[in-house]
Amino acid sequence: MKDLTEAGELMYTTDTLKTISEKLIADFNATEPKQFSKLMKDCLTPMMYLLKRELNLLDFTKFIKQGLMTNRTIPRPSQRMLVDILLKNSEDHLAQTIVKLLSKRNAVPLFEVQGESQEFVPYIIHAWDYEKPTILSFGIGPCDGKSSLLNSLFLSNFEQRVSSSYFQQTIDVDFGYSFIQSSVQQSRPINVADVHGSMSLELLDKVSRLFDGFIIHVNTKFLLCNLPLVKQFLDRLPDYAYRCLLVRDSSFDEDNTVLQQLRSNNKGMLRLPQIAHKTNVESQYFLNKLRDIIYHKDNFSPRKLSKNTLEAEFHKLLPPERLRRFDDEKALICSIEATLINGEKKHFPLYNIFVDVCQMSDKLSHIDFYGSRDSEDIFNTQNALYKLEVKLRPDSGNQKDCGEAFRIFFSLLQNTSKFNILSIIASALKKKIDRTLKADQLAIDLPYEKRLSMEIHWRNALVCYDHIPCDAQKQELVQHYRDMIASGQPFEIIDGDNFYYQSSFLEKVMVDMKFSKVFVISIIGPQNSGKSTLLNYMFGTLFDVRDGRCTRGK
């Protein structure tokens, strides 16, 4: 994670994609013998720099390709190749983060080439959009231009096929997060997957039940000569799935009995003329017609695959070792669910007192001491606040109970895979909030136990810090917090719910930074106005930008 956090931050502030790629190519050409593998690894840093800013990688890879055009002795680089190298050089938590960032503006690999076969990319499970139906586009036999057609139809970002094993029966998915929305144009209602190269029956059997529908491309001449094969593919598709059979490069002057028969058996069949020039009037007509046919609401609404169904299908694709990891993650969530996910106030005894202290202090701050006539109410409030502060104050030899939530959370921090574990817990907490709360409820002051998050667990840990009896454990908690900051994760300075600044703890955490110059930028604005998105784009931060999220005080 540290590599992702620091990638390019001090290197590319004054560079453009073109100058970055030119430097990489110049360094490559200046080295003898030329090391293509080193060039590919050198490309990973600017890739990570772009991913943090949720940018498309195609322009960068285009410049790299152009810089190597004259050298015919090396492999043709591609975005798929670079993404594959990046993921294979990342530990699990980093790979999950990269795939999530990749999904914002780029196609995400679903199946990668592995030797002579295709291998499922498990990290896509964490980025999959379960809310929208997903359709798979594939070709039967030779059929050029599938990816470019999809890009024109759906404003997707699929890479054009090059002569490489990375484009042999591999699959990418575009989740459409970058789809342009306006008052006229709505968000794209479907996710789109693209098969590079020709589909095989074996691969189709593996993946078909992941998708709600299919776009099948087949060249007219190939269809007329290989009708039994085409029917074999169509028969292997799930009965529930929507299908659109595109007979490509078709002439409407043709009146072929085979085509007529095929149309009668496939209501979704559409004959598509050659549309090499996708901007002319005729091509635009057919593209718009095809888009309207595919987007029709009746195609997917009754058939939408459930999340449970999809997860079960994903698990079938996992190798045994990876499946064991998922089972371990599931077991972890089950073991902590009652306390850290669905926790109650009884699990946070010290934090309850802390919240009461903050609320009482806030109440006192709004009292006009000079104009108030109710001196008894002021006295009672001050007295109640004093008693709460005494309860919260750590007394030597009489340490307060930190509660079950803190004990479990602290034990998880001591695991060598703590960031991966915290990521799993954070994901489970977000899923619970999405399931139980509406977007407008996130902006109101619900009790903290109704909206548990990773921030609240860290707040509880900071409150419990002074009550930890062992100095070594106190130092451990400080170090865990430092590690979280070093990994690039956002951390709270001001607790926006309780309007509190944990100055003493943060001073200990940041003691190593006391001789460093730190430039602090603050951003304010209404909820859902794009503050986090702007910071992510400008500075490569990793703020959560989920819809409806209110990050008060972060």
Give the span between the Cα atoms of 145 and 275, in whole angstroms. Answer: 9
| DSSP codes, 396-432 | TTBPPP--HHHHHHHHHHTSTTHHHHHHHHHHHHHHH
If we measure between CA atoms, which residue out of 55, 16, 80 comes closest to residue 178? Answer: 55
Q: Are 332 and 421 in contact (CB under 8 A)?
A: yes
Say what the pLDDT of residue 340 is.
95
If we measure between CA atoms, which residue out of 535, 529, 534 comes closest to residue 549? Answer: 529
If we measure between CA atoms, which residue out of 418, 347, 360, 368 comes closest to residue 389? Answer: 360
Q: Is 71 helix (H, G, I), strand (E, B) or coil?
A: coil
Which H/E stretch holds residue 104? helix 92-105
- Per the structure block, which two tokens stand in for 97? 């983060």
60 burial level (CB within 10 Å; 0-12, 13-18, 19+):
buried
Which H/E stretch holds residue 136? strand 134-140
Give the span between the Cα atoms of 436 and 345, in whole angstroms. Answer: 18
Give the span between the Cα atoms of 37 and 437, in whole angstroms. Answer: 48
Query: Which residue spans within 189-254 are E strands per DSSP?
Result: 191-198, 213-219, 242-248
pLDDT tens sequence for the chain (554 residues): 666 777 777 788 888 999 999 999 999 989 888 888 899 988 989 999 999 888 889 999 999 988 988 887 888 888 998 999 899 888 888 898 899 999 988 999 999 877 677 789 999 998 898 888 999 999 998 888 889 889 988 889 998 877 777 888 899 999 987 554 444 446 788 899 999 988 899 999 999 999 999 999 998 888 888 888 988 999 999 988 888 888 887 765 555 666 666 665 666 677 777 766 666 787 788 888 888 888 876 766 656 788 889 989 999 999 888 889 888 888 999 999 999 999 999 999 999 999 999 988 888 877 766 665 567 777 888 888 888 888 888 875 566 789 999 999 999 999 988 988 998 899 889 888 888 877 666 666 788 998 899 999 999 999 999 999 889 999 999 999 999 988 888 888 888 888 888 989 999 998 887 777 778 888 888 877 888 888 888 888 888 775 444 454 45
Say what the pLDDT of residue 439 is.
65
Cis peptide before 133 (omega within 30 of 0): no
If we measure between CA atoms, which residue out of 221, 87, 274 comes closest to residue 166? Answer: 87
Terminus-to-terminus CA distance in the chain, angstroms?
Answer: 20
Between the alpha carbon of residue 548 and those of residues 433, 434, 437, 524, 526, the distances in Å are 11, 9, 10, 16, 12
Cβ atoms within 10 A of the Cβ of 158, count? 24
Give the span between the Cα atoms of 343 and 403, in whole angstroms. Answer: 11
The CATH class of the 109-317 domain is alpha beta
If we measure between CA atoms, which residue out of 21, 60, 47, 58 comes closest to residue 101? Answer: 47
What does the domain layout of the chain look like in residue ranges? Answer: 1-77, 109-317, 323-509
| DSSP codes, 342-366 | S--GGG-HHHHHHHHHHHHHHHHHT
Q: Are 95 and 109 in contact (CB under 8 A)?
A: no
Give the span between the Cα atoms of 443 and 552, in whole angstroms. Answer: 9
Q: pLDDT tens, 184-222?
A: 446 788 899 999 988 899 999 999 999 999 999 998 888
Q: Are 70 and 79 in contact (CB under 8 A)?
A: no
Residue 140: strand pairing partners: 218
